[in-house]
Structure 1
Amino acid sequence: MPNKDTPSWKIAGKNGVQGPVAGSQYYCADTDDWQPTTTPGFWIKPLFEDASRGEKTMLMKVDPGAHAASHTHEGELEQLFVLQGSFFDQNRTLNVGDYCCRAPDAAHSAGSVDGAVLMVVYTRR
């Protein structure tokens, strides 16, 4: 059962590329606004989703000082890559170029002291 503090990263029906994809499809995220999540200070820009395959990719912006309490992403493998700033969980701080891969249902906290932008990929198992 998901933790009540689980951030909402649902992106179906929003901008970005919707799967399945045939050939090459392009999307310019710069033209869209950041979408708020249910966790204050966490924002997303959907890049891709194929709900039938359980795949979604997004940009995530974390405001300076924002923090999400311990939570899980039920049944989803989570991959994070830091593009700007720094981002922390309960174990360490990730800086530009750092990558984290989290097993499905792995409990973790999240936040940023000075702000961050990450690429986030979720894959449902």
Structure 2
Amino acid sequence: MTEMFSSETAGLPRPDAGTLVARTAGQDWQSSGSDGFLVKPLHEDPATGRRTWLMKVEPGAYAPAHAHEEFEELYILEGSFDDGEHTYHAGDYAIRAPGAMHESKSEAGALVLVIYSR
């Protein structure tokens, strides 16, 4: 398996008590390590491997077939996104099993909530 996407900085940790807030509107998008895929890390827990990100997929972005070691959950907030098997539109949700091969691409661009978990 190949991890296709990464973040430059971590999102919020899991709180021990109370509430943590990420004010993402003023944050810059970060490189994910894959051209055309930008991320804003919201939550990352190294102990469990859980990552919650906003991912901006630029029009024409393409990542070749890859798989993740974790479950991958996708909720399409804006635009459309294609994984080589299905095309998803705003309001669609998908969950992918660890090791499931897929592509990542968007002709028109998309905004996606992505959650990786074990």
TM-score, length of structure 2 as denominator length:
0.93
Instruction: Kindly tell me the number of residue pairs found equivalent between the two proteins.
Output: 118
Whether 2:2 is the aligned partner of 1:8: answer: no
**Could you tell me which residue of structure 2 aligns to residue 31 of structure 1?**
26
What value does the CA root-mean-square deviation take over the aligned residues?
A: 1.4
The letter of the residue matching 1:9 is S
Q: Return structure 1 stretches of 4+ with deviation > 6 angstroms.
A: none
Structure 1 unaligned residues grouped into runs of 5+? none
When residues 57 and 114 of structure 1 are mapped into structure 2, their CA distance, relative to the original with a 3 A threshold, is same
Number of the residue aligned with 2:48: 53
CA distance in 1, matches of 2:47, 2:15: 8
Aligned-residue offset at 1:47:
0.2
Q: What secondary structure is seen at the aligned counterpart in 2 of 1:59?
A: strand
TM-score by length of 1: 0.88
C-alpha separation in 1, matches of 2:26 and 2:7:
20
Name the counterpart of 1:118. Answer: 112
Question: Which digits, 9 at most, give the CA deviation of each residue in 1:38-66, with x for residues without a partner?
Answer: 21100100000111022110000000001
Question: 1:79: which partner in 2?
Answer: 73
Partner of residue 104, structure 1: 98
Unaligned runs of 5+ in 2: none
